[in-house]
Amino acid sequence: MKRQYFKINLIFILAILIFFGCTKSTTSPTDFEPPSINVIYPKTTSQIIAGTTVTIKIDVTDNIKINNVEILINNQIVADISESPFEFTWNTSNLTNHQLIKAKAYDSSENMASSETIEIDFLTQEEIEPELILVNGGIFQMGDLHNDGEENELPVHFVELSSYYIGKYEITNAQIASVYNWGLSNDQVICDSIFVFNVGGVVADLIVLISENSFIRYDGSQFIVENGKNDFPCNILTWHGSVYYCNLLSQLSGTTPAFDTNNSVWPIWGCDFNTSGYRLPTEAEWEFAARGGENWVDSLKYSGCNGVSELNDYGWCIINSYNEQIQQFVGERTTRKLGYKH
């Protein structure tokens, strides 16, 4: 009886040793490696428009498991996220300039890592929206009055226009990049580093980033302008890209977009001239404004002057720009009769 009892106790002790042995062999090693975390949007170089909604996007990895991610603005936690996607919708209304964005990640072993701090200085609506000048309506003779143009400029005919507004300067690279970055952050634009496309409706090429004259690049998260090229006129937009810029700008300014990008009559996106939104000028509107509107003097052959020797004062052209660089800063030439400048 005692021997049998001894056997039972021995078997029980061995079972306990085997159990604890198995438990020890399955224990995970201690994890001392912290996560890797970065704020992928916005960047310090991002051009964010004050009053708009921005999606803060975080990229985070860990060798085992991410437990949670904290997003901080000005050192205050605004979001604590436990699963992907690690994103936060940030409303920038009523915020002062210079905001600081940072993210912290914690893994399952309580290791912590912090991202670099992103510094944001907002762009104002005044910096984004182009300065406009009023063109009072009137009647003018449209076409080639000097008989040295193209066939499609004939016959000369009278056109009557209502009053309208037109940009004082050419649209710059900085203005295009800012508005299209807003389109990116609001899922209205996509980019593959070579071409830019609209989201929804009839898809079209908007910007050709590989053009040799392009000073705008896509870095994987935003459009950036090369140093010193912010105030150069942007010349890499397609017709559709110009139209889409107008629609995005209309949304930013709180007006109704003029162009219907869902128009099934490809490749034309129809325009509603009765809306309050931004649009491209018609050929007649552009020609009337270029001549000086109601201030036009019939004897002037060029916009603002009559002789080739005077063109240097009124605009950038082949005689004063070609041998240096194709593009020049906007607004540096003599003011035209309407008040706009090259």
Residue 130, preceding peptide bond in cis (omega within 30° of 0): no
Distance, CA of 319 to CA of 307 (rounded, Å): 13
The structure's pTM equals: 0.70
Return the SS3 of 141.
strand
Cα 199 to its chain centre, rounded Å, is 14
Dihedral sign (CA 223, 227, 229, 231): positive
Dist CA 81 CA 59 (whole Å): 12
Q: In CATH, which superfamily holds the domain spanning 36-122?
A: Immunoglobulins (2.60.40.10)
CA distance between the termini of the chain:
112
Joined tokens for residue 53: 């909604």
The span from the CA of 314 to the CA of 308, in Å, is 10
Inter-residue contact 120 to 48 (CB < 8 Å):
yes
**Six-digit token pair at 116?**
């670099």
If we measure between CA atoms, which residue out of 121, 65, 54 comes closest to residue 92? Answer: 54
Looking up tokens 């397609």 gives: 238
The answer to whether residues 60 and 191 touch, using CB atoms and an 8 Å cutoff, is no
pLDDT confidence of residue 20: 44
Whether 257 contacts 275, CB under 8 Å: yes
Q: How far, in Å, CA of 91 to CA of 97, rounded?
A: 13
Q: What is the pLDDT of residue 19?
A: 43
Q: What's the CA gap between 100 and 119, in Å, rounded?
A: 5
**Mean pLDDT, 10 residues at a time, the chain of 342 residues:** 48 43 50 92 78 89 94 96 95 87 95 95 81 92 86 92 93 91 86 87 87 85 87 90 96 90 76 94 93 76 74 70 61 56 48
- pLDDT at position 175 is 92
Q: What is the CA radius of gyration of the chain?
A: 31
Token pair in block for residue 223: 């459009």
Dihedral over alpha carbons 167, 168, 172, 178 (to 10 degrees) = -60
